[in-house]
A and B are shown apart, each in its own frame.
Chain A
Amino acid sequence: MSYQPIRFYQTGTFTVGNRLLPDEQRSVQANMRRTNSLNSGHRACQGCGEALGARYTIDAAMEATQRQLVAANATGCLEVFSTPYPETSWQIPWIHSLFGNAAAVGTGIAAALRVKGRHDVRVIAQGGDGGTTDIGFGCLSGMFERNDDVLYICYDNEGYMNTGVQRSSATPPAARTNTTMPLGQSAGNRFGQGKYLPAIAMAHDIPYVATATVAELHDLEAKVRRAMEFRGARYIHVFVPCPLGWGHDSAATIRIARLAKETGLFPVFEAEGGRVTHVSRIKRKLPVEEYLRPQQRYAHLFRDPPRRDVIERIQQLADRNILRYRLTDGVERRA
């Protein structure tokens, strides 16, 4: 690689904005004229990661498409808290149909726009992990397979939260939900095969797949921008902590997301045509315990005696991710 002088700007691009950076290097969120796609007054809980992730993502998409955007939304928290009839927080053209058909509705909108010759208008379909990995999985896989010109965004809060915190196929092992209560020797959700949608999406060989978290705004926005440079089916998986369902402090949402990435439990990468092209390296590798401890859904692992065996298995999952996605390559390991 050619030598590049390090340009140092106090907080670099770690913060949302930075007065020392040129405008084009600041985030969309730093802009006073951002769309605020998801406006104030929504009914999401305090510190909601999904509300934050949705505004980050859709604002970036609006910016990338010169505000020519339609969104189809699956049923779920995002739909319920944003649009209780007759009020809505959305400041974009937005459609809600069913829990399981957001991808299909997106496909339909894209087809209609094509017929009308409106190539400038782009389509997003979005939903939570329940509407994506469980209920809407068939429609989504079909959308991928047909390579329909839709960007699908999954806001992953690892469970059905608006119906009262039930397990989804994205709920991680050992997590407590109301349907995976830790009783006796059981330690919450079981260790299964996993249903990791970013990898499934990549297996469809679609043009673009990416993962992101609400803790790294610049990375998230860059991925949305990149996704909009492609035509065809694209998928972005955004990690959004849920203070209610995960049982953490409402002020900790971003920290938890950061810890998920820094421990290796949530790999942040992007892939084009089914091949990983970029990985966000771990800045300071941390043991999974740092991530698990602040969350009540893992509290049963830290009672007396603590479930070291379970924590160790979760650590193995993180280590496997680190190896598989080479998350620490070139990163100094801290003892």
Chain B
Amino acid sequence: MITKIKLTTPLSEQVVEKLRIGQKVLLNGVLYTGRDATHKKMIELLDKGQSLPVELKGQIIYYVGPTPAKPGRVIGSAGPTTSGRMDIYVPRLLALGLKGMIGKGKRAPEVIKALKQYKAVYFAAVGGAAALISKCIKEAEVVAYPELGPEAIHRLVVEDFPAIVVNDTLGGDLYEEGTKIYAAKEH
């Protein structure tokens, strides 16, 4: 069985630098949610010279828009959304000390370069495993932009949230490497 690395947020640069593509991790502590509209709003705040509604230093943003919680539940289904849509916003957030992102799908070369520069990582969670992932979420609270509905910033507290390192601080890309192994021929 492959060992899974337990990580607790906030993440330090020392911890992040040791992570390598393909490693399986179990995340613990606080995650902030954010996706398209949230990122646009945060960048607009930065453009105006204002501070963000949450402190991102050492934190992880999880790209997710959960379904509404059924009565008696902490949260609804909460799997990762496609990360590439947030690419254009990422370098500025990394410059503020953001240490990780969780989503699914490829990142732009600019993001991979910024991860090296600012010492941060990109994790993938299993796309479509939203009911299973929701079991790791122990607390959920909207902390900003409630008007955005599923796109509001939620503060989640997670226990052993499973993810895999896709892009590390060395510029590695698990999607590229994984596909290369199995590609039967060049297309």
B partners with A = no
